Amino acid sequence: MSKKFRVFATCDIGDSIELLRKRGYEVEVYPRPEAPPKNLIIEKVKSGVDGLITTLRDPIDAEVFEVGKGTLKVVAQIAVGFDNINRADANRYKVPFTHTADVLTEATAEFAFFLLGSLARKMWPAEHLTRENRWGYWHPYLPFLGDEVTGKTIAVIGTGRIGLALIKKCSGFDMNILCYDPAYQNHEYVKGIQEVMDLRQARGIQKEKTWIKYVSLEEALRTADFVSVHVPLLREGESTTPTYHLFNEKTLRMMKPTAYLVNTSRGPVVDELAVAKALREKWIAGAALDVYEKEPLPEDSPLRDPAIEDRFRLLPHFASAARITRLSTDPNKGMAGRTAQGLIDVLEGNYDGDVRKMPYVVNKEAFGK
Ligand code: GLV
C-alpha cells in the first residue's frame, strides 16, 4: 500500500481495528463507551482523516462533510440502519458510506421472536414471582396465564431482510403470517414459505393448514395476535413512504386488545407516548421495545411507568448484540468485519475503484454512470 490511511473510529470495534493497523492504517479509536461529542468528530475530520468508523448514535451530516472536503473518502457504519447519516448530504459531497446489512439479519430476527415469546408467555413477571418468593402454589390458572405463540397469527411490518428472516422462524412455529411493507414486497419469498407450510402439513409435521399473504396495514393490525416491526426509519420528506410514528394512537387502536407489539427496528417508528397510553388503557395486551425515540432511555421516560411494567419489556437496543454477529472479523459473519471491509474497499479502490460495485456501499446513486 503506497499511502498510509488515517481513520478515526467513534467506537471500538474489537480485533478488526488491529487488523486495519496490521494493514498499515493509522487508526485512532475514541476510547470511551458513549458517543464522542460531535465537535470531536468534526475536529478529527478537519485534521484530514481518510475514513470514519461510525455507529448509529453519531450524527453525520453536511457539517462533517464540509470540513472533510477533499480528504474524507468514506464513512463506514457499524450497523445496518443509517438514519444518523444524512444521505442527501453524503451524496452532495460525494462521500460513500457503508453499512453492515445481512450479517445481523438472523440475530435480530431471532431476538424479535424471543421478545415476542417471553412477552406472551410472561417469563419476566413469572421469574420475578419465583425470585421474590411469591410462588405459593401450583394452580391451573393463578396467579396469571400467558398466551401461546404456536399456531397464532403474526403481522410482519416490513419485509426486508430482517422481516423475511422472522417470517422463516415464525413458519416453524405453525403461525399464520400477514405481511405488510409500504415500499418493498417479496412475493417469491412468500410463495416459497407457503410451499413449505403446505409440505409440512401434507407430511403431518404440522396439524393445521397455515397461510402467508401480503395485506394492507389496517388488515394486518386488525387481524394479528402479534405485530413485529422491521422497517427503516424514514422521516417525512426522506421518502414517499415515511415510517416516522407509523405506530401512533390511530394505528395502535387498530390492534386487537389481546395482541402484542414488538419493535426492534428504530425507536421513532413508534410513538412512545401512544404506546404507554395503549398499555395503560389496555388497547393492546403487551409490548416489547428494544429501540427508543431517544437512546439511552431517559430516566423520566413514561415508558418506565410501574403500572404497565408486567406487560411491557424494555431492552437496551440489543437485538444484534450477539458475539459473532457484532465482533467477528469475518465480513461474512460480523458487523465489525464488514465495517472494516467496507472501509478498505473504498480506500484501497477495490472493484476497480467503482463505488457502485462495492457491496457494502449504501449511497451508490451518488456515483453517476
Ligand atoms: C442496529 O440497530 C443496526 O442498525 O445495526
- Give the Cβ contact number of residue 322 at 10 Å: 17
Which residues are annotated as catalytic? 266, 295, 317
Q: What is the mean pLDDT of residues 292-305?
A: 98
Ligand 1 center from residue 320 Cα (angstroms):
7
Ligand 1 center from residue 189 Cα (angstroms):
23
Ligand 1 center from residue 321 Cα (angstroms):
10
Of all atoms in ligand 1, which is nearest to the CA of residue 266? 2
Q: What is the pLDDT of residue 3?
A: 77
Q: What is the pLDDT of residue 350?
A: 98
- 117 contacts 166 by C-beta, under 8 angstroms: no
Model confidence at 197: pLDDT above 70: yes
Partnered with residue 288 across adjacent β-strands are 262, 313
Q: What is the mean pLDDT of residues 44-66?
A: 98
Domains of the chain, start order: 6-102+323-367 (3.40.50.720), 105-314 (3.40.50.720)
Q: What is the mean pLDDT of residues 126-132?
A: 97
Which residue has the CA at smallest separation from atom 3 of ligand 1?
A: 79
Residues with Cβ within 8 Å of residue 138, at least 6 apart in sequence? none
DSSP run (H or E) holding 51:
strand 51-54
Q: What is the mean pLDDT of residues 211-215?
A: 98
Q: What is the mean pLDDT of residues 336-347?
A: 98
Three cell numbers written together for 34: 458513549
Three cell numbers written together for 341: 471491509
Which residue has the CA at smallest separation from atom 1 of ligand 1?
A: 79
Which residue among 13, 104, 230, 231 has the greatest number of ligand 1 atoms within 8 angstroms of its CB, and so is best to mutate? 104
Which residue has the CA at smallest separation from atom 4 of ligand 1?
A: 81
Q: What is the pTM of this model?
A: 0.96
Model confidence at 272: pLDDT above 70: yes
Q: What is the mean pLDDT of residues 67-83?
A: 98
Which residue among 55, 56, 269 has the greatest number of ligand 1 atoms within 8 angstroms of its CB, and so is best to mutate? 56
Return d(Cα 318, Cα 108) in angstroms, integer: 9
Q: What is the pLDDT of residue 186?
A: 98
Return d(Cα 210, Cα 97) in angstroms, integer: 41
Ligand 1 center from residue 325 Cα (angstroms):
11
Of all residues in the chain, the percent with pLDDT exceeding 90 is 98
Please list every protein residue whose CB sits less than 6 Å from any atom of ligand 1: 56, 79-81, 104, 320
Q: What is the mean pLDDT of residues 28-38?
A: 98
Q: What is the mean pLDDT of residues 87-113?
A: 98
**Could you tell me the end-to-end alpha-carbon distance of the chain, in angstroms, rounded to an integer?**
28
Ligand 1 center from residue 335 Cα (angstroms):
10
Which residue has the CA at smallest separation from atom 5 of ligand 1?
A: 79
Partnered with residue 179 across adjacent β-strands are 156, 214
Q: What is the pLDDT of residue 368?
A: 84
Closest CA to 339 of 350, 330, 348: 330
Return d(Cα 324, Cα 104) in angstroms, integer: 9
Which residue among 97, 98, 108 has the greatest number of ligand 1 atoms within 8 angstroms of its CB, and so is best to mutate? 108
Partnered with residue 247 across adjacent β-strands are 270
Q: What is the pLDDT of residue 2?
A: 56
Model confidence at 170: pLDDT above 80: yes
pLDDT, mean over the chain: 97
Confidence of residue 219 (pLDDT cuts 50, 70, 90): very high
Q: What is the pLDDT of residue 369?
A: 67
Q: What is the pLDDT of residue 324?
A: 98
Ligand 1 center from residue 56 Cα (angstroms):
7
Q: What is the mean pLDDT of residues 207-220?
A: 98
Ligand 1 center from residue 240 Cα (angstroms):
22
